[in-house]
Chains A and B, each alone.
Chain A
């Protein structure tokens, strides 16, 4: 039963995010795209951002990951839309405070969402430098796959 949890337990807010994930899918006209990839499980988060100056005008995400990732992605995108890029970088920490204690797997799901956002920012930087980059990909250092007993999560 320990493996099947979502952040903050099953309260109404979490259920709402599960039933109707916010900002889910592709963005019509993003100016940068990032992907965080867990090569061990093949799980990914793709993040579409529309940045105007210092403002995150619009964002969306998609994932083939677990429901934890869906809930975190929904909450995170909802928090940063319309805010500054600086605020967005600190938003995952703020969300962690809001959610309370997360399991290691849930923390990795949250990192994956943040990394996908960071990757989209790196894509924006690279495009600004004149590089031709369709999407920026960041590989996850840690996998959310539950290690077998005695196995280390590399």
Chain B
């Protein structure tokens, strides 16, 4: 079961980052919906693992390859889903996951039938350009580093909160963790799409268990609040540095969301 969990984790990331990499808004949006379904699969498989008295971790063995066009991404994704089906379980949860994945395969086949969908992928070209914005090199550099830092941080938060959520019987904690997970999904999506737009899309690095096995919740929350404060400072710096009204407003918006995360986290104390 823990192998199943790891493979689903990898598949969740593959669908998510395929969504980020593809420019077509309809395919992007559809894949993102499937990625959230895959994340729920992860959650349910994790629950089954724990209920069976075993445990899972966030180890993974995957690479996000630089693909040149949409069909390369979708064909690789198809292969990964088919490989997952080979190890999927035979129980009710396995059946649910299988029907979801088969529907996704059907969707991918439909997209792959239409050659006009096969557009070039620019998400990995490392050009670091924002075509409709006039950003100075210094602003591009600051934005680049911010996106690497924060995309990792959001992925880390999603997994750490999910790990703790799976292990609490406290309803308030469960509810707060869910809110924080949902918020981090939105931030990861926003930052991932921005990275793709700049040609620097990359997987967040793998989490080590020293990061996600939390022994002292109170200390974790206090440190987490300090990290949210630091993220707010970075957002504010970036918002001030980027002389573009639309981007600047976006980072202010993220900044206010971080403020509310702090309030949510205080409820865990």
Residues of A in contact with B (beta carbons under 8 Å apart)? 1, 3-6, 9-10, 12, 15-16, 18-21, 24-26, 35, 42, 44, 46, 62-64, 66-67, 70
User: Which residues 136-163 in B have Cβ within 8 Å of A in the complex?
Assistant: 138, 140-142, 144-146, 148-149, 152, 156
What separation, in Å, do the CA atoms of A12 and B126 have in the docked complex? 8
Determine if A15 and B200 form an interchain contact, defined as CB atoms under 8 angstroms apart. Answer: yes
Interface size on B, as a range, is 20 to 34
In the assembled complex, B128 has its CB within 8 A of some CB on chain A: yes
Q: Select from chain B the residue with minimum beta-carbon distance to A42.
A: B223
Find out whether the CB atom of A4 lies under 8 angstroms from the CB atom of B205.
Answer: no
A110 to B208 alpha-carbon distance, docked (Å): 20
A46 with B210: in contact, given A15-B126, A67-B149 (CB under 8 Å)? yes
Q: Is the CB–CB distance between A18 and B148 below 8 Å?
A: yes
Chain A min CB distance to B242 (Å): 10
Residues A4 and B142 in contact in the complex (CB < 8 Å), given A64-B211, A67-B148: yes
Which single residue of chain B is at the shortest CB-CB distance from A135?
Answer: B210
Q: Is B80 an interface residue (CB 8 A)?
A: no
B135 at the interface (CB under 8 A from A): no
Contact B208 A62 (CB under 8 A): yes
Chain B residue contacts of A66, Cβ below 8 A: 149
Q: Judge if B79 is at the interface, Cβ distance under 8 Å.
A: no
Q: What are 16 pairs between A and B in contact, CB < 8 Å? A: A3-B234, A3-B237, A4-B141, A4-B146, A5-B141, A6-B145, A15-B128, A15-B144, A18-B200, A19-B200, A25-B205, A26-B59, A44-B210, A62-B210, A63-B208, A66-B149
What residues of chain B lie closer than 8 Å to A46, measured between beta carbons? 208, 210
Assess the A70–B210 pair: CB atoms within 8 A: no
Whether A20 lies near B149 (C-beta < 8 A) is: no
Q: Is B217 an interface position by the 8 A CB rule?
A: no
In the complex, whether B21 has a CB less than 8 A from a CB of chain A is no
A24 and B205 contacting across the interface, CB-CB below 8 Å: yes
A14 nearest CB across to chain B (Å): 9
- Does the CB pair A10–B145 fall under 8 Å? yes
